[in-house]
Amino acid sequence: MSGIQPAGALIIGGLGHIGRGIVRALAGTGARLIVHDVAVEASAGRDAAARGWNSDLRLPELAEQARAAGAAAVDYALFDLADPHATATGCRQILAEHRVDIVVAAAGLQSTAPVAEMSRAVWDRILAVNLSSVFDLMQAFLPPMADRGYGRFISIASVHGLVASTNKPAYVAAKHGLIGLTRVAALEYAAAGSVEQGGVTVNAICPGWVETPLIEPQIQARMAADGADRAAAAEALLSTKMPSGRFVTAEQIGALTVLLCQPQMHALTGAALPVDGGWTAQ
């Protein structure tokens, strides 16, 4: 990334399917990476369990991929986004040891049920992870970005932040709220920095269906309903929403993330960018 080499990038939910694509894409810019996830490997040790963060922790496969792609360094942050105290502690620990120029909030939860049947506990956890945690991250990382004059805060929202679907009340509410939060933060930080520095931008990427575990129950339901194999069921499912007939890939989302991080993209802020094969164009 011209002018910001090597940037420090925090990828929240970096061990997920979309998160891994973003990690690999940002690694290719030579960035220093901090990869967040909630899961702790059995080999993490008591220090990681006690502190929730350990720069010596390595998830070998992802670290190897990132280094091979060009990452200057790979460290890890481990905390539960649904717990605001744990999130605040984790953010303080990261800021104490790293300069963070880029935050990509790629973590997400999904659970389906009609409004009348969704439990309040499920509602609360989905909003905590998909929306409230992003607010916590913005409070922690946007002010230091503004002080330096360069920063990128990118949330992985969803096409469901732009349109609704039945049986997803918490997910749709959280993603719509995330886009609103993105626009407010973008306005508040729009004047930070300068053209030469790259400014501070806040944007949301809104993917259509990505072939991840979140979509698998819908493919399985289509298989059962149609008596079809998986490939045919996936094709039939895509035809109901996405004119492209193709799943969005993690690599596409990673490429857009890198583009948004370029210093010359300082005028692109407050956007909800659909990557949805034409879903929301209909």
> CA neighbours within 13 Å on the CB side: how many for 181?
25
Is residue 76 flagged as an active site residue? Answer: no
- Decide: 31 and 100 in contact? Cβ < 8 Å: no
- For residue 253, give the nearest of 21, 17, 11 by alpha carbon: 21
Q: Where are the beta strands (DSSP E) in the chain?
A: 8-12, 32-37, 73-78, 102-105, 150-156, 199-207, 272-275
Strand order in 73-78's β-sheet? 73-78, 32-37, 8-12, 102-105, 150-156, 199-207, 272-275
* Two tokens, residue 245: 């007939």
CB 130 within 8 A of CB 171: yes
**76, 150, 171, 189: the active-site residue:** 171
Name beta bridge partners: 78.
37
Q: Rounded to whole angstroms, how far apart are CA atoms 178 and 165?
A: 17
CA distances from residue 16 to 99, 176, 194, 226, 258 in whole angstroms, order as listed: 23, 22, 34, 30, 18
**Which residue numbers are catalytic?**
171
